[in-house]
Chains A and B, each alone.
Chain A
Amino acid sequence: ATGAYPKRVKVVEVGPRDGLQNEKTVVPTSVKISLINMLSETGLQVIEATSFVSPKWVPQMADHTEVLQGINKRPGISYPVLTPNLRGFQAAVAAGAKEVSVFGAASELFTNKNINCSIEESLERFEEVMKAAREASIPVRGYVSCVLGCPYEGKISAAKVAEVSKKMYSMGCYEISLGDTIGVGTPGSMREMLAAVMKEVPVGALAVHCHDTYGQALANILVALQMGVSVVDASVAGLGGCPYAQGASGNVATEDLVYMLNGLGIHTGVDLQKLMDTGTFICNALNRKTNSKVSQASCRL
């Protein structure tokens, strides 16, 4: 059965952070700021602005303070930033952040290779951030990577995803974004994973972050919506390749997502044309073609 769909979906735009972080070309601060400002005009309610991580690890995000302080913060729009640890959190708050995100994973090997510690140790680090955030009344969003597969471990058990999600939700994350980091998931594995997670975390606190590396993203998102998920992450122009499969795509394109939601009569508040214009802007700045099929199709050359 196709089931009922949510009437509204909150689209979380991750292009300026997740997207740009996975683009080879380092983008000037002014371009990042223009990108975020343009996104702020599209109706998007949440725009992930940058990451307070050491520039040694992520050179693309070295200008995090300038970006956060330089953007026009429109009322009603949230500009979360990544904060991998307490130090990053403090720097973010000092720079004016009003919402932060922490990044966990459902795979030990991935955690090891990505942030150099075990899942348990990473949760301890987040606990420090949660404590400080609680004191400062700053909401924290939790990400769980590798929910449908890991580049190192391969298959990931739904039970493990549920366990990590539960821990992050219990420590105070208001929302858990479940990420198909390498895009290997299909509607089958999405359904199974969500069924397990929904036993531990209320569906209203869940989001999906699907990568389109195997072209499965929209089908996976459709299934998530059918199961009651109403928050979806996406990246304008499908910015951000896959660091684990050279030349392959990564994030699902916000334009393609909004096109599908519009067709389903689901309200997002996002102006598709303005979104496409923003995608055109950043692709020109990056000197690359868009990964959005809607954008490609709408452009009559």
Chain B
Amino acid sequence: QEPQASGLPEYIKIVEVGPRDGLQNEKVIVPTDTKIELINQLSKTGLPAIEVTSFVSSKWVPQMADHKEVMRGIERHPGVQYPVLTPNLQGFHSAIAAGATEVSVFGAASESFSKMNINCSIEESIERFEEVTKSARNMNIPVRGYVSCALGCPYEGNVVPDKVAEVSKRLYSMGCYEISLGDTIGVGTPGSMKKMLEAVMKEIPLSALAVHCHDTYGQALANILTAMQMGVAVVDSSVAGLGGCPYAKGATGNVATEDVIYMLNGLGINTGVNLCAVMEAGNFICTALNKKTNSKVAQASFSTGTV
């Protein structure tokens, strides 16, 4: 099966967000050792990028209170990126002091979400991020930009594609090397994904785009496929589908890395990632969290004993 024949990228970079986005949305507080072990296991799977932690106040995100210890405690494998979230300049400095070599900033395409989530308007958040990207530039630290609510907002409902394009453009222009477009509440479908990407692609080169799909409504893989058909070649996912949805109790959140890789393998698309190794890491963290995996591939594989 030739990916080129079906118009798909030959290689997809998978950005693993389980240790940060995933764990951040899990109720159980995970010990630092467990976090470090998870990241070390993920480092051996071939994943090119693993989001490690978040340098945010522990008042807001208790799960990430051990950010320094985690950052300093993990094995750093050559060829693997270990980005961390830095919501502001203070977080950025703290991250650098702890050894971070790549950071991320989190914007949103919805004013209401921005206000509820980080207590300021989109414009104010952009100003904060500019401080970060300016410092980062001076230190040669790459910055990844996230745009939340790209396909819908828990407060505003519908989000206009042009707004997503506008915020993306601001983040890209200030120096973010990549923009990850997040379907934060998983409401998107291939229809809305296509419309949103068409608008964003007018402002940002395709090679600088990533999709971060939530599987809350079961649409993630279909949305990711649509994005890939349009040329997007970077996909965020979370081992074992860690991380529920804070806006729909009991619902799922992140798409499972295992399920994404299974699809990409079936399409003949190269990722460099060993699916079995990811399943093992998934098994490890689910055991530690005392929860069932959200990955259907993992569920099916453990039942049959095969992949």
Residues of A whose CB lies within 8 Å of any CB of B are 1-2, 183, 185-189, 191-192, 212-216, 218-219, 221-223, 242, 244-249, 253, 256, 259-260, 262-265, 292-294, 296-301
Contact = CB atoms under 8 A, between A and B. Distances in A.
Contacts of B201: none
Contact of A213 (B190, B263, B300): B300
Given A216-B263, A292-B218, 5 more contacts: A188-B268, A214-B300, A215-B297, A219-B225, A247-B303
Interface in B182-224: 186, 188-192, 194, 215-219, 221-222, 224
Interface in B227-252: 229-230, 245, 248-252
B138 interface: no
A214 B259 CA distance: 7
Given A187-B267, A296-B252, A2 B295 contact: no
Interface residue tally of chain B, by bracket? 35 or more
11 contacts: A183-B300, A186-B266, A214-B262, A215-B296, A259-B189, A259-B219, A260-B189, A293-B217, A294-B217, A297-B186, A301-B250
Interface string B254-296: 0010010011011110000000000000000000000000011
Given A263-B190, A264-B189, A297 B245 contact: yes
Contacts of A263: 188-192, 219
B222 A222 contact: yes
B1 A248 contact: no
A192 B222 contact: no
Contacts of B251: 293, 296-297
Nearest to B250: A301
B225 A223 contact: yes
A213 B297 CA distance: 7
A118 B194 CA distance: 45
A88 B252 CA distance: 43
Given A1-B229, A218-B221, A189 B266 contact: yes
Contacts of B117: none
Given A1-B7, A187-B267, A216-B263, A259 B218 contact: yes
B112 interface: no
A216 B189 CA distance: 15
B297 A222 contact: no
B293 to A, nearest CB: 11
B215 to A, nearest CB: 7
A185 B266 contact: yes
